[in-house]
Every structure is written in C-alpha cells, then in structure tokens.
Structure 1
Amino acid sequence: MRVVLSTYGSRGDVEPLAGLALQLKASGAEVRVCAPPDAEFAARLAEAGVDLVPVGQAVRSLVSGPPPAPSEIPARAARLVEQFHGAVLAAAEPGGVVVATGLFPAVAGAQAAAEQLGAHFVCVALQPTMLPSPHHRPFEYPMQPYPAGVTDNRELWELNIGAMNALFGEPVNTHRAAVGLPVVDNVRDHVLTDRPWLATDPTLDPWRLPADRDVVQTGAWILPDDRPLSADLEAFLTAGEAPVYVGFGSMPLRDAAGAARVAVDAVRAQGRRVLLGRGWARLAEADGADDCFAVGEVNQQVLFRRVAAVVHHGGAGTTTTAARAGVPQVLVPQIVDQPYWAARVAELGIGVAHDGPTPTTDTLSAALRQALTPETARRAAALAGDIRTDGAASAAKLLLEAAAG
C-alpha cells in the first residue's frame, strides 16, 4: 500500500508528517512525502527513513523575503495547485492513500490528484482554526478581512466561505477544469471534505461538540527525537539554574536584534539565565555575557525538560512539545493559529498569552513573572502526563484500515 503525504508550509507542517511516515513504515506501508525542498525538512524526513519529494520553492527563503503584494496571491496560489497536483499525481497510485495538509492551494492540488487517480483522500488540519466550528473563529486572511462588529463564530465561518472563494476559487477551479475535473462552488468545503482529520492533542485542543462536521481527532503527530544535546549546550545548562528558553521557530521576525535584546533583558529582570533558539529569525546573544547562550537546531523534546520556562511564537508543535515537557510557557503569537494556542495555554493555566506580537521588556517581564510562579509550574507539570504520544500511531492505523475497507 502506497501512502503519499503532502504539505507546503514551515517546519511545523513537515515534522508531523515525518512522525506519521515513521508509523506507516512500521506498519508495512510504502510512504512518499511531497513537501518544500528545504534542506532541514529533508533531514528530518531522513530520520524517519523517508525520502523527500521536493515541491515548489524553499519555504525559508520565501518567508524571509518581502511579503507578496495582494496582486501576486492568485498567481502564487495557481502555481501551488499545479505543482502539488503534478507531484502527487506522479507519487501516488490508484487505490492508494493521499493525506494532505499545509497551505490551502497545495491541499487542493493534492486532492485533485487523488480524485483523478481514484485514491483515498484525507484532508488534515494541524491546527483547529482551519476547520469550521461554532466554538472558535476562523483565522483572517489580511487581504480578506471580516466586517467590523461581526463576532458570531457561525456567521464568521459563513463569511469565510466567500473569503476562500475570493482568494482561491479561480486558481483551484481553473486547474480542475484544465485536468478534466468538475469545478466546485465552495472550494473550502470541497477541499476540507465532509470528514477532515484534526492532528492535535485532545487535552490541549479538544474538538468540542456540537460541531458542523464529523471531525476525526487523532492526537498530535509527534516524531520521536533521541538526539543528544551538544556538549557546549550541556555545559551551559549545568553551569547554573535552569534558564528560560526563548525562540520563535519558523517566524522570521523583522527586527531580530531588537527581539533578542528585549528577550535577554526581560529574562534577566526575573533573575534568570537565557537560552536563545536562533530559529529562522537568527536570534543571537545580545552582549556575549556568560548568562546568555544561543543554540541552533536542537532536540526540544529533551531540552524543554531542563528549562524554567519556554517563550515562543505559539506554533502547534512547540506548544505541544512544551506542554509535554511540563514546563510553563509564554506565547507571543504572530500569525494564523498562534493566538488560538496562546488563549488555550492561558485558559489551561499552564502559561501566559502575551498581548500582541511585539513585546517590550516590560510586557515580556510581566508575562514571565506570571509564568514563573510556583502555581503555573505545578499546573504545567500536572498537565504533562495527559498529553498523548500515540497520535501518529493512531492515525496510521486509521489510514490503513480505511484504505483496506
């Protein structure tokens, strides 16, 4: 049985597929992964024993450049639809399985390929704000804002249909017609399907009922990581009290030097040492003092168990890893689903949601002060045992059962 996993997005979109691929291979499936050609993605997939089928432009170079003008969005969307349709069509097989997540046009292209082949198709959300629900609002595309004053979630999701059609209807339907598939009136619901999957942890992110569609929540897809920490990082960790980790993952940040300065000053204000995760923002030590250390690629599953708190952007993967480690969090949300995760962490009492994407030394100090209280630490430690680690295994079992049936 051949299973094609498809995504276009950042590390948080690719690494879960590596976790699923590992489980599928252990069950005897043949797995191919269509994803961006970034070298770090290929490396993570290689650890799962899966080769990358490169599709499209490297994401890191894309997000590090200037944002596209609104007039460029349709052409970029059309390219993604075409690229992923072609890649998945070549990689998948009739009667096989196609699993797609990531940017909407890439999912639409993968779905069109599955339709043509007669392959079983599963649309997967790695965060809930992709899926319509009366219990949360959709994220807002900057070029398609919702009317001021509309707060009802159901009404917002109805408006979301029009926003998705305006952004993606023409590129999706033009390509569908070109390859002999029928056009669709509602591209969002067609691509999501009647039974999408949600690969998030049910403790951190319970899919609440009643809901507008049948959603299969599998648990988060975690790629096990047994890489040791480097010798110099070990030396820093053992040289004093547990530091505060600050990192923004795949967020490029427009003023990385300023963000690093704020982070170092805010952590020092709490009497703590600081560990900066360079990430795509390339955070670096602010002044070279020995209470500050910067680290690149690292095993966060191990590292987070040895820090006092984690300050991060609020991506689904980092939030889950920190929750699993039982460490308090401060979320500084930037885009898309990150405000949702910040709100969830605050609601659960395992951390703090910073108000806005650009902290000052004072605002980050205040958030850290709350996160570093004994009560927050106790709640974070207590919740850690409830985070599931079998999401990828459960998803692999469901996929193979569905294909066999």
Structure 2
Amino acid sequence: MRFLLSTIGSRGEAQPVTALAVQLQALGNDVHVVAPPDFEQLVTGNGLKFTPVGPVLRDTKIVKTTPDELRRLAEESVREQFRVMTKTAGDADVLVAGGALQHATRSVAESIGARYVYASFCANTLPSPHHAPPAMLGRVPANGTPDENLAQWERHRQYFVSSRDTLNAERAKLGLAPIDDVRDHIFGDDPWLAADPVLGPWPGPGELIQTGAWLTDDRRPLSADLEAFLNAGEPPIYFGLGSMRGAQDTAREAVDAARKIGKRVVLQRGWAGLELPDDAGDCLSIGEVNQQALFRRTAAIVHHGGAGTTTTAAAAGRPQLVLPHMYDQYYWGAQVERLDIGRASAAVTAEILAEVLELAGQAGKVSAQVRTDGAKVAAERLMSW
C-alpha cells in the first residue's frame, strides 16, 4: 500500500508522524512524509521519503499579529499545503494528517479517492463536553460544566473561519464542492487519538480509535560528555523546553532551584537557545538528545508539556514538572497532576522541585502502565483496511 503522512507542526507532531511512518514501512509499505523543512533529517534518517512544506519553523519569529495578518498567514499556509500535497499524493491509498491545521490533506484524499485519517495527539484537541478546548492565541480556556465546555467548543470554530474561502478556492481547483465547517472537515468523521490511554484517556462521548502514543524506538547513544556527567554523580534534573521560545530567566530559575536542593542539572538548549548561568561543574548544556535514554537516568524532568515529552517522561518512570506555554500543554500539566506523577507550574522554585521529587514512587508505578507500541498498533490498524 502507498501512504502519505503529513503534518505542519513542530517536533511534537513531526516525531509521532515519523514513528508511524517507520512502522508502516517495516510492514512493507511505500511511505512518504510531508513535514516542515526542520525535520528532513528526522525523516530521512529513518530511511523515509520526505517532502518539505511551509517555512523553516525554527527561524519563524513569534510576534503579536493583527487579525488581518493572521488571516494572511492562514491563507498562505492553506495554499502551500495544497500545492505540496497535490504534487506529492500521486496514487496514494491512504492519507494521514497528524495534528492540527491540516487543511489540504482530506481534500487531496477526496480528489484521488484515497482513505483519510485525522490523528490527534491529545484528547482535548477534539471536541467533548467533558473538557475545554486547547489554548489558542494566548487564551487558556478553563474546564467547566458540559454545557459550558460545549459553548467554548462552538467559539473554538472561529479560529478556522479565516481559512475557509481559501480552502474552498483550492477545493474548486480539484473539482470538489465547497465546505462550510472547516474544523469538522479537517477532523473527519472518525478521528483517531494517538495518545496514551492512561495519560490522556478519551472522556467521551462515544468511543474512538485510541492507539496509544506514536513513539519512535530511539537507539541513539548518549554523547561521551553526557555519559561522563551522568556517571560523575547523583542523577540530575533535566530541564528543556523543546521548540518553545522560553526566556533565559527560566533556565536561570531552574538551575538556582536545583542547586538549592543539592541537585545537578542537564539543560537542553532547544529552539530557545537556553544557556547556563555559569560554567560550574554541576550543570551540563546539551543539544539534541535521545530522551528515552536520558530520562531514565534523571531524578526529575522539567519541560514544556508537549505530548511526546510528557509521554516519554512518564514511560521513563520519572516525576515531572510541566511549565505549559501553549495549546495542549496545559492539558498535559493537568493530567500529570491527576495521576500524581508531577506538578504543573508557571515557574520553577526549589519548593516545587522538592515536592516533585517526592513523587518518584508514584511515577514509577504509572510507568508500567504506559504503552510504547502505539505506532505499531496504528500501522497494523491502517493495514487492516
């Protein structure tokens, strides 16, 4: 079978899409991945075909934009997605859209008669009366009653309205009828949930396909410097914000808090280019790393709350401190607290780090329940078609 997998998100979406692609290819399929140019090495390094879409995300500046600017950016993104997807789809049998704002994938699938799957990596990005929508444009909705949550989901549709005219113009080029509700069009009739059922269960109504998180089997060795640092003392506290544009003050706060309770720090620079406050030997700065291997050797994990990082930390059996910035990260912080395997906070302090470290026993118990075969489950389900 021929599969085309697409995402326009950051590493938190490109990583699971790649994990699924690896499993599909291992089953003998022809697999092609469309993702932002930042992730070419991630995809091709796993022996997969890759086509870039959109700008280099790491170089994109985060600035306050006007409604007109947001509309222009949405229109440009939709046109670019259609351009790339129509060129790449060929005679694919199945198109899989991984994550939000996949405007072109379903339409292209429709135009070539392929099957379509939309996969969410977090339960609260799919409508339900049992949770509020994810944070959008700085607004963080609070969970309320079922009626209040549904009202928030109705307002959530407004974020998709600005792209409707452009979407329908591109559909017309493919000979397709216009659609009215962009969000529900993207989600499709039967969306999948690629999240761990213990960490992020689907609350209903009804049932959907929940495969478990799509994780790569990362076998990269840790660097010699990191190995030496880990072997030179007690397990450190990991601090990293992934693709978030975290402030340097946050890194300094984390190091100060860890030192106050006698802990060393491994600081991942990430897209924010975080820096250590000094060159003392109790801290180490690192770049890209095998989190699966590193997290098992830490005392606690401080991170931004991305779906993949939260799941990897939980699978490693280490307590976590979530510092949410946007979108689904507030949800993951709440889930970590629900399971009592960590805490969510706006800042890092010695007091909260000490509290998190006390949760190591519970984190170890939950880790045994976390699934690591979600990508394989999803690939086999797709093959059953």
What TM-score, normalized by structure 2, do the two folds share? 0.95
Distance 1:144 1:377, change over 3 A: closer
- Alignment partner of 1:334: what SS? coil
| Aligned equivalents of 2:298, 2:64: Cα separation in 1 | 34
Residues 254-293 of structure 1 deviation map (CA, whole Å, 9 limit, x = unaligned): x32x122111101111110111011011112111111011
Counterpart position of 1:324: 315
The answer to whether 1:160 aligns with 2:156 is: yes
Counterpart of 2:210 in structure 1: which amino acid? Q
The answer to whether 1:240 aligns with 2:233 is: yes
- Alignment partner of 1:282: what SS? coil
- Alignment partner of 1:33: what SS? strand
| Aligned equivalents of 2:186, 2:119: Cα separation in 1 | 10
The answer to whether 1:259 aligns with 2:259 is: no
Distance 1:58 1:236, change over 3 A: same
* Structure 2 counterpart of 1:305, from 296, 318, 331: 296
* Structure 1 counterpart of 2:89, from 88, 92, 100: 92
The answer to whether 1:80 aligns with 2:73 is: no
* Structure 1 counterpart of 2:185, from 190, 200, 209: 190
For the 8 Å contact 1:6–1:34, the answer to whether it is kept is yes
- Alignment partner of 1:284: what SS? coil
Counterpart position of 1:129: 124
| Aligned equivalents of 1:317, 1:394: Cα separation in 2 | 17
* Structure 2 counterpart of 1:387, from 370, 374, 379: 370
Counterpart position of 2:47: 49
Q: CA deviation at 1:93?
A: 3.6
Counterpart position of 1:36: 36
Counterpart position of 1:343: 334
| Aligned equivalents of 1:351, 1:315: Cα separation in 2 | 14
Counterpart position of 2:283: 292
Structure 1 unmatched ranges of 5 or more: none
Counterpart position of 2:216: 223
| Aligned equivalents of 1:172, 1:52: Cα separation in 2 | 24
Distance 1:175 1:140, change over 3 A: farther
Residues 216-275 of structure 1 deviation map (CA, whole Å, 9 limit, x = unaligned): 11110011111111111111111111110000000012x32x122111101111110111
For the 8 Å contact 1:80–1:109, the answer to whether it is kept is no
Counterpart of 1:102 in structure 2: which amino acid? G
* Structure 2 counterpart of 1:120, from 115, 118, 127: 115
Distance 1:75 1:103, change over 3 A: farther
Q: CA deviation at 1:210?
A: 2.6
| Aligned equivalents of 2:115, 2:68: Cα separation in 1 | 35
For the 8 Å contact 1:314–1:333, the answer to whether it is kept is yes
| Aligned equivalents of 2:28, 2:9: Cα separation in 1 | 27
Counterpart of 1:155 in structure 2: which amino acid? A
Counterpart position of 2:11: 11
Q: CA deviation at 1:111?
A: 1.4
Residues 3-62 of structure 1 deviation map (CA, whole Å, 9 limit, x = unaligned): 000000111110111111111011111000011111xx1121123211320111011111
Counterpart position of 1:334: 325
Structure 2 unmatched ranges of 5 or more: none
- Alignment partner of 2:103: what SS? helix
Residues 139-198 of structure 1 deviation map (CA, whole Å, 9 limit, x = unaligned): 243388989x9971122112223x134333233223223433211121111111110011
Identity fraction in percent = 45
**Equivalent residues, number:** 384
For the 8 Å contact 1:93–1:119, the answer to whether it is kept is no
For the 8 Å contact 1:85–1:111, the answer to whether it is kept is no
For the 8 Å contact 1:310–1:327, the answer to whether it is kept is yes
The answer to whether 1:368 aligns with 2:353 is: yes
| Aligned equivalents of 2:200, 2:86: Cα separation in 1 | 33
| Aligned equivalents of 2:49, 2:92: Cα separation in 1 | 22
For the 8 Å contact 1:323–1:380, the answer to whether it is kept is yes
| Aligned equivalents of 1:90, 1:226: Cα separation in 2 | 34
Counterpart of 1:154 in structure 2: which amino acid? L
Q: CA deviation at 1:398?
A: 1.2
Counterpart of 1:275 in structure 2: which amino acid? V
Counterpart of 1:8 in structure 2: which amino acid? I
Q: CA deviation at 1:83?
A: 1.7
For the 8 Å contact 1:328–1:377, the answer to whether it is kept is yes
| Aligned equivalents of 1:140, 1:168: Cα separation in 2 | 19
What TM-score, normalized by structure 1, do the two folds share? 0.90
Counterpart of 1:389 in structure 2: which amino acid? T
| Aligned equivalents of 1:178, 1:46: Cα separation in 2 | 31
The answer to whether 1:282 aligns with 2:273 is: yes
